[in-house]
Amino acid sequence: MAYGSGVMRTQLMLLDRDPAVVALACRPVELVWPEESRVVGHAPQLMARLQDGSGLLVDCAGRSGPSARLAKRARVVAAAAKAVGWSYRLAGPPDPVLVANVRWLAGYRHPRYAAGSCMSALLEAFGSPRPAVEAVCELGDPIAVWPAVFHALWNGVLRVRLDEPLHERVVVSVARQEAEAA
């Protein structure tokens, strides 16, 4: 999927990780409306289709925030989105630590990193919150186990605070919904 800015790329990555998001599209719709003596158009940069069938439109502002023009158009897009039962977000650059952590985990999003038949052992090892390295060493060869842990963190099977830097002693636990399903 193409992206037009670093903020947009980051928003795509964050939306891709969100379990409520089932589909993503870039510039999927253009809104056109009269403004004073002319016609104005705007295509929100991203759209996410959510599990509940609703939609989320997203525009991405740069580091300096939204321009006056984008802020004005954002109000119109937000009202249009609300009218059809969707939501709208004008996103700025997220926290750099969050971005770095999610970018790292995104490298393990491919199913080849999944724990497979070892998933129950992984869930049991992190049944109580504990430092990642302790459970990884307990489960076997760290070279084989770390990718499965990172994949489970990407998919939300395991949980960790992403607003703090990831490291081997970070406390990891089973995500609540996974524990309830087990």
**How confident is the model at residue 177, as a pLDDT?**
57
**How confident is the model at residue 58, as a pLDDT?**
96
Calculate ∠ Cα 138-141-145, nearest 5°.
Answer: 80
Displacement of CA 121 from its chain's centroid (Å): 26
**How confident is the model at residue 127, as a pLDDT?**
94
Q: Which residues of the chain have pLDDT under 70?
A: 1-4, 177-182
**How confident is the model at residue 164, as a pLDDT?**
95
**How confident is the model at residue 40, as a pLDDT?**
93
Distance between CA atoms of residues 157 and 14, nearest Å: 16
**How confident is the model at residue 85, as a pLDDT?**
95
Report the DSSP pairing between strands 87-91 and 55-60.
Answer: parallel
Per-residue b or e along 100-134, where b marks 16 or more CB atoms closer than 10 Å to that residue's CB: ebbeebbebeeeebbbeeeeebbbebbeeeeebbe
Which pTM value belongs to this model?
Answer: 0.81
Q: Which residues pair with 117 in a beta bridge?
A: none
